[in-house]
Amino acid sequence: MTSVSASAMPTAPIARRVLSPLFYALVGLAMIGAFFYGVFSTGQAPDVLLNIFTTRFLGIFIEAVPFLLLGSLVSGLIEAFVRTDDILRYLPRNPILSTLMGVMLGVVFPVCECGVVPVVRRLYMKGLPISVGITFLLAAPFMNPIVFASTYIAFGFGPIFIGRFLITFGVSAAIGLIFALTANPKDVLQSGLILQESGWEDLQPRRSLGAGLRYALATAATEFFEMGRYLVLGCLLASAMQTLVPQEALLSIGKGPILSTLVMLLVAFVLSVCSTVDAFVALAFSLTFPTGSLLAFLSFGPMVDIKSTLMFRGIFKPRVVLYLVLLPFLMNWVIGVLINLRLGYY
């Protein structure tokens, strides 16, 4: 057993206790500064700007929190009733096949971009491979029956519906395979999420239904408040961006097959709309933007937005969070531009 010096042990907890309040303080100061900048730049009265900010914050938060609650409940049930060997038994041993299987896990766990984060977090603690979790995390917000139905209602069974499925599948699988071939769990996950190799859990008797449900609810409550702080901060930032950066300012620069795709990616990131309703938001842009740009919006938005980016911090190390933002952004941008230029939809 590896020994750890007494002086080294408290370093990480002390760093977290010091840096976390500092981070939140800096974010708070930045938001206050941005608010006063918005007052002077837009010419609106502070109370009007504050009302707009509050309304948008409540809209985003109320839309997202039920799905976080659902994801936390699923996370609690996984913790109470699912063992490590239950997960590994059904996963292919081939890393490529298991990664591709992760894309379709959303059909089994129909959760949006807020609800999927606590589910993936719990599955990692149960021993889910890194690449499978990442493909599930990126694909699940679209790969579930509710979002299939909303996309079909908004656009019908045509280029948008088929393209959204194919792009989501391709981008999430490609990023998952990158991690499957290169990633080490210790370099990707927060230290508390790395599965211990003792296997003690699988030697314990399974919980009864009553005891398991009580344990699941207790775990779900802890998970909800653990991830909820990231959700609140993400909602604050998203509503601030929506208040201080009007959509009209973004839309006015979205001309041409390249810039229009870039603008729709930025709109998807800023709006932070739930994947269950984003198809109807995209429908409102359908007369203004070409098909490739709409598909970039519909594929990238469920994968990454402001609130989910902050929630990723509860699972991954900062450098990995950056990769999980930039890789989907760049891939969706390239695909959207190619569709606009090459397939004649612009």
Residue 209 lies in a domain: yes
DSSP 8-state assignment for residue 56: H
Among 58, 53, 59, smallest CA distance to 243 is for 53
From the list 245, 248, 255, 257, the residue with the least C-alpha distance to 333 is: 257
The answer as to whether 16 is a domain residue is no
Into how many domains does the chain fold? 1
Contact 134, 121 (CB under 8 A): no
pLDDT of residue 332: 95
> H or E segment at 245?
none
pLDDT at site 196: 52
How big is the CA angle at 291 (ends 299 and 136), to the nearest 5 degrees?
A: 10
For residue 13, what pLDDT is reported?
A: 43
Average pLDDT, the chain: 75
E strands along the chain, which residues? none
14 exposed, middle or buried (CB, 10 Å; 0-12, 13-18, 19+)?
A: exposed
pLDDT at residue 5, rounded to an integer: 39
Tell me if residue 225 falls in helix, strand or coil: helix
Cβ neighbors of 66 (< 8 A, separation 6 or more) are none
Q: Determine the average pLDDT of the residues in 1-27.
A: 45
Q: 131-177: per-residue pLDDT in tens?
A: 888 998 898 888 877 788 888 988 888 889 999 999 999 999 999 99
Residue 158, Cβ density class (10 Å: 0-12 exposed, 13-18 middle, ≥19 buried): exposed
13 falls within a domain: no
- 12 in a structural domain: no
DSSP 85-148: HHHHHTS-SSHHHHHHHHHGGGGTS---TTTHHHHHHHHHHTT--HHHHHHHHHHTTTSSHHHH
Q: Give the angle subtended at the CA of 47 by the CAs of 42 and 48, to the nearest 5°.
A: 50
Distance, in Å, from the CA atom of 312 to the CA atom of 178, rounded to the nearest integer, reads 18
Return all residues near 151 (Cβ < 8 A) that are at least 6 apart: 142, 160, 161, 164, 279, 298
d(CA 102, CA 130): 10
> Per the structure block, which two tokens stand in for 129?
């491979």
26 in any annotated domain: no
pLDDT over 70 (residue 29): no
Instruction: Give the pLDDT score at 334.
Output: 93
What was the pLDDT predicted at 336? 92
What pLDDT digit, counting tens, does each position of 225-260 carry? 776 776 777 667 667 766 766 666 666 666 778 888
Q: Report the DSSP beta bridge partners of residue 189.
A: 316
Residue 103 lies in a domain: yes
**Cα–Cα distances in Å, from 143 out to 77, 103, 137, 139, 163?**
21, 8, 10, 6, 13
57 has pLDDT over 90: no
- Residue 70 lies inside a defined structural domain of this protein: yes
User: Whole domain around residue 325: which residue ranges?
Assistant: 44-342
Select the more confidently predicted residue: 105 or 18.
105
163 lies in some domain: yes
Task: Tell me the mean pLDDT in the region 71-79.
Answer: 73
CA-CA distance, 216 to 210, in Å (whole number)? 10
